[in-house]
Amino acid sequence: MPKLGGVYARGDFFQQLAGAHKPSVDDMLSDRGYFGLDLSIIPLYDNIRTEDGQMYELLRNPGGNAIYSGLVIQDTTLDGKNLMFNADLTKDCATSEGSVGVREGNEAVWRSAPGIPGKAFEIRVSEDHIKWIEDGLFCLEGPMIKPGLHWYLPARDDGTYYVSHMFELSGEFQGVKARGFVAFDQVYMAKGGCLYQNRDVMMQNYGHIMWYTWATKYKDGSIDAGHFIFGHDRLGFAVFTDGNTVTATQNIESVVTPDPDHPPFAQYIRLKIDGEEWEFTPDPRGKMPAMLQKYPPTPQQEGLWKRVGDTREVDSYWAWGETETKNGCTRQSKLPTRR
């Protein structure tokens, strides 16, 4: 039976609740808060791979948040070894400034605001499908991997409520066929809060060791997709879906093996979830070293999550996330800030 490693102030738990939610266009567009928290950011982020062998990480915050208000692209075209920021691809794209979500039929729609210079964007999200267009650059769309997933970290004065919708993607990037996955997420935090920067309970207490959003599709048509967080004391969870059944648990253990040749990135991650072993294998070109100097300032790295010994043949995958080995590689009984 799990035991607490630390005793904290009233209202602080340092444990997360995770589960599934029913996708709702009305909820996507609502300005209501949850658990006393306000909508902070709407990250739309993905990984695609093109037929010519390149890999791209795409990011936009359509809600107009000041953090990365424009389109952000990291790709393998610059040095062939890592995912690097490619400003040449995004310099002429419109920012998200002034963009407001509206309902059109059964879709929530965000598009570049009138009067904002640059090439337009449009993001259309329904309860089943997404379509993301960046004028002159790409058009990608695909079905939702249902249901929606969410997690909540309560805290005495702060807290984080993270709502996620994941989709498969296909289309064209600069005229080349592309496939991948995307997450359309909405993050709620205490007033003035921002992930990684302010009133972020997990980060400010150096609580986590690993955090990933991921999906793996197999050639037999089956799929797994979810979120993993692992940290100190009782911090951490696994929530994932195969499109029908959702698993959600706090019974998670992990060991992160640092990459001795490429610190601070990971060489390998092993998880045990309800006794079942999973593994993360980094993509050889998946490191994002330039992001360490920007936002978020953590070792972000692409790769593949799957069960250890799974014999299904992988068709496509993404895993955008991070390891924070400076916080440790295995669980400590107490959060580093609360020893």
- Residue pLDDT tens, the chain, 339 long: 667 888 889 999 999 999 999 999 999 999 999 999 999 999 999 999 999 999 999 999 998 666 678 999 999 999 999 999 999 999 999 999 999 999 999 999 999 999 999 999 999 999 999 999 999 999 999 999 999 999 999 999 999 999 999 999 999 999 999 999 999 999 999 999 989 889 999 988 888 999 999 999 999 999 999 999 999 999 999 999 999 999 999 999 999 999 999 999 999 999 999 999 999 999 999 999 998 888 778 999 999 999 999 999 999 999 999 999 999 999 998 887 764
Neighbours of 201 (CB within 10 A): 24
Going 62 to 197 to 39 to 319, the CA torsion angle's sign is positive
Distance between CA 228 and CA 305 in Å, rounded? Answer: 10
Query: One-letter amino acid identity for 189?
Result: M
CB 208 within 8 A of CB 15: no
> What's the whole-model pTM score?
0.96
Unique residue bearing structure tokens 């390998």 = 268
- Bond from prior residue into 296 cis (ω within 30 degrees of 0): yes
Instruction: Specify the DSSP element, H or E, that contains 88.
Output: helix 87-90
Neighbours of 114 (CB within 10 A): 6
Q: How far apart are the first and last CA of the chain?
A: 23
